[in-house]
Structure formats: structure tokens, C-alpha cells
Structure 1
């Protein structure tokens, strides 16, 4: 497959700036990309003229521009699952008092496509548009419960089973056993496997053909989202809402 170098470099700039909310100078960008400052400046000038990048007048640093948000919003608005799931997400947030997520799988990764914040302060990794590994998150394991053995093996070969905390599942057989349990009970649990102190319960969402197309979750501090609460009231709530979303997508089981 042939690639257009200038396009690749331009996209790389956008990806780097996306991970640098405070912005970067031309010097920092050129160093990161291992390109001449003149080349990076030329690419930036085009991006600025089209609104995809903006320059901070105070420090001269470059940041993502409004046009990126316009495109991202258009994409998100066209993901029907967000519209279908919105009522259920809000309902879960109110009933649980915790943070609620809606996620999909893309290229063997979790992508957060919607989030309802809790009234209570909580610092978490998740935010709309962010990606995460699948084996160590509640939503990721809920999505993995719909994978075939072949697809699961491919994911493990490609992504590995990286350890984030002492609770992270890092063995293939242990992950397969976990997925079997998830299919049986209908929901997944992130037992502080991605972030210490954060416990999560998640459930898969099915389309009209019975495919797992998304996952929803409730997450919060482990001392508030206790094991008893997860396996009791939260399990009932998230299963009810995941089933409701699935029915709206045409799932009849």
C-alpha cells in the first residue's frame, strides 16, 4: 500500500497535538517528529489556515483548532448508538450516582464515545475520544465477550496483555476464563485492573443480529463502588439498561 508522506506527517502533527493540550512549539514538534523545523512550520501553516490548528498568541505554541472539533462532533453525532443509549446512560448516572460510559471497539481497542459525569468529584483516565486496552477495563472485557477465539487470539498477539496494576489479567487462560464467566452472568467487572482505586461494572450491548456492538459501564472509587454493590444493585441496573439499549437496536432475545 502506497502512502503520501506529507499526509502522514500532517496527521502525525494532529495526533501529537491531541496528546498535548497545552500546545507545543515548532521546535518541540520538529524534535518529536525528527523533521526539520522548516518542514514542520510549512505543514503547520496549512493546518492553521484551514482551522485544524491554532497558535497561542501568548507563547506561540500550536494547539488543535476548532475544525477538529467540528469533524469529531459530526462523526459522533452520526454514531446512532450514542443517541439510542443516551436515555439509559443518564438513567444509570442518576440511579448510581457514579460515572457512566458508553464505549465501542475499534482496531482492538476500547474507544470512549460518550460519558455522563458524576456529581461527585472523581479523576479518571476516561474521556470521550480516548482509547484504552480491552483486557484490563470493564467495557473492554464486555466487548471481548463477543469475540470469537480467533479474534481474541489475534488481539492478544497484536496488543499483548499489558500489566497496569497488580490486579490486571496478564495470562491468556485467565482472560479466557474471565470471558466465559462474563458471558454466563451478563456483565464484566474491572477489579482495579486499569486504575488502582477504581472499580467498574460493564455490560455488552447487542445489535439486531446478536453481535456485541458496544458496552456501557458504571465506574467509581472502590470504597464506594463496593463488590457487594457491584454484584447487587449495580448489576441489576446495568443489565436492565444494556438490555433496553439492545432492544432499541433490534435485539429480540
Structure 2
């Protein structure tokens, strides 16, 4: 067995065990990988010694070991959301022709941490490092969709729901209904709620624990970012890219 083949088989064992949380016996794993039982057993012994695989003494099945979690946690904890999201932001900007944002929540405010400019000249509120209210922006509402009812109550108490335009949501019960809709559809719409003449669609980004850790958005003039576009092509594209980024962060749903 060559060294490369050995590594490949070892990784295949880990990938196979990842598909079966309840574990597999040596015989089952050998059949799954189309390997000799003796070869499979030898590789499992090496992985067990290093902590990447452990044997359940009751069932006799082999399962992923704690060392896999240590490696995964180290990777996930060191992921830079901006680097992870960069390719998706570029794709959204190219397909939509509009400005694209990446935001996170900090102190109950949406903070713009990355931006890809539109192919058109567009003056709007957003710039990297700037903060915005969450109840009246697409990214803010996408982030809020990950809040519990108690957390939303705290935000309203702390920040209030100030009115910016005629379409700003200023009542908490309406905001809560809006968040329920966002959770169902997978995206949020800013119907000129923060800036008159600017329409936005946003979607939440999830981490490996299923927590909303960021939001991405597409924004532009209401006459170009029409309701038809928002509920059609743009909704489809932004949901695809939010899922892509979430998957890179370890979200498995």
C-alpha cells in the first residue's frame, strides 16, 4: 500500500463514519469502503490511537473520536466571515448589478463589514464600519430573525423603533410578524424602510451551531430593484449564496 493510498483510505474511513453517527462495525466499514477487513482494522487502530476514532464497547461499532471535534472547532473558530463570504458577495454583485453588503450584529446594531460596489453609481447610507438600526434595514431584519422573542424585546427597549420613512416598521407586533415571515421564506426585504427610494433584499448566514452570525444583502434604487426582481431572481440568488456561505461555516441543514 503506497503512502498516498493509505492516506486516502484513512480519510475515506473518517468520511464514511461521519455519515453514520451511530457508528459502524469493522465488517460494515470494510464493505462500505470495499476493503479487506484486515486492512480496515489496521487503519482503524491507527486512528483510534490518535483519537480520531473511538470504539463503542457496548455495540462494538467505531465512531468519530473527540480529536475530530478538536480539529473542526479550531477551523470553525478561526474562519474569517469576510474571507468565507467574499466569493459569494462577488457573484451576487455580478448577477444583480447592484451593491452587495455583508453585515454582523454588534450591540444590537447592524454593522457593515464588507461591501461590493454596484456597476452603477449609487449614493446610499452604507459604508464599511458604519452602523444601522436593525428594525428598518434588510440586513438588520435578517440578523433579527435569529433573535429570541426576549432578545427582540430587549432591543426594542434599548433602541426603540424610530421612524425613518413612511414604510418603517414602528410597532413591535408588526416587527415580530415580519421576523416570522423572514424565518419561513429565508430572506428579508427592506421596502424603502430606511432610505426612501432604496429597496433591499437580505438573507441570514448561519454558523455550525445553527446561529445567525451575519447577513448578506443586495440593494439599489427602487426603480431598478423592483418588487418583481426582489421576489423573483434576487430572492433566489441571495438564498443560494447565503446557504453557500453557511455551509462553508459548517451549517449542515
Q: CA deviation at 1:79?
A: 7.1
TM-score, normalising length: structure 1: 0.69
2:129 is the alignment partner of 1:125? no
Question: How far, CA to CA, are the matches of 2:139 and 2:82 in structure 1?
Answer: 15
Question: How far, CA to CA, are the matches of 2:231 and 2:126 in structure 1?
Answer: 23
2:141 is the alignment partner of 1:141? yes
TM-score, normalising length: structure 2: 0.69
2:153 is the alignment partner of 1:153? yes
| Runs (4+) off by over 2 Å | none
1:206 aligns with 206
Q: Secondary structure of 1:218's partner?
A: strand
2:108 aligns with 108
Q: Secondary structure of 2:193's partner?
A: coil
Question: How far, CA to CA, are the matches of 1:119 and 1:203 in structure 2?
Answer: 21
Relative to structure 1, the CA distance from residue 119 to residue 80 in structure 2 (aligned partners, 3 Å threshold; closer, same or farther) is: same
2:226 aligns with 226
Question: How far, CA to CA, are the matches of 1:222 and 1:119 in structure 2?
Answer: 16
1:247 aligns with 247
Q: Secondary structure of 1:101's partner?
A: strand
> Any unmatched runs of 5+ in structure 2?
1-77
Relative to structure 1, the CA distance from residue 172 to residue 230 in structure 2 (aligned partners, 3 Å threshold; closer, same or farther) is: same
Question: How far, CA to CA, are the matches of 2:147 and 2:224 in structure 1?
Answer: 31
Q: Is the 8 A contact 2:79 2:249 kept in 1?
A: no
2:163 is the alignment partner of 1:163? yes
2:232 is the alignment partner of 1:238? no
Question: How far, CA to CA, are the matches of 2:197 and 2:102 in structure 1?
Answer: 21
Alignment of 1:47-58 (within 5 A): none
Question: How far, CA to CA, are the matches of 1:160 and 1:198 in structure 2?
Answer: 22
Question: How far, CA to CA, are the matches of 1:116 and 1:144 in structure 2?
Answer: 23
The one-character-per-residue Cα deviations of 1:182-239 (angstroms, maximum 9, x if unpaired) are 0000000000000000000000000000000000000000000000100000000000
Q: CA deviation at 1:119?
A: 1.2
Rg larger in 1 or in 2? 2
1:27 aligns with none
How many residues in Structure 1 have an aligned counterpart in Structure 2? 176
The one-character-per-residue Cα deviations of 1:3-55 (angstroms, maximum 9, x if unpaired) are xxxxxxxxxxxxxxxxxxxxxxxxxxxxxxxxxxxxxxxxxxxxxxxxxxxxx
> Root-mean-square deviation (CA), in Å?
0.8
2:44 aligns with none
Q: CA deviation at 1:115?
A: 0.2
Question: How far, CA to CA, are the matches of 2:200 and 2:102 in structure 1?
Answer: 13
The one-character-per-residue Cα deviations of 1:154-188 (angstroms, maximum 9, x if unpaired) are 00000000000000000000000000000000000
1:29 aligns with none
Question: How far, CA to CA, are the matches of 2:85 and 2:243 in structure 1?
Answer: 11
Relative to structure 1, the CA distance from residue 79 to residue 174 in structure 2 (aligned partners, 3 Å threshold; closer, same or farther) is: same
Q: Secondary structure of 1:243's partner?
A: helix
1:181 aligns with 181
2:45 aligns with none
Q: Secondary structure of 1:213's partner?
A: strand
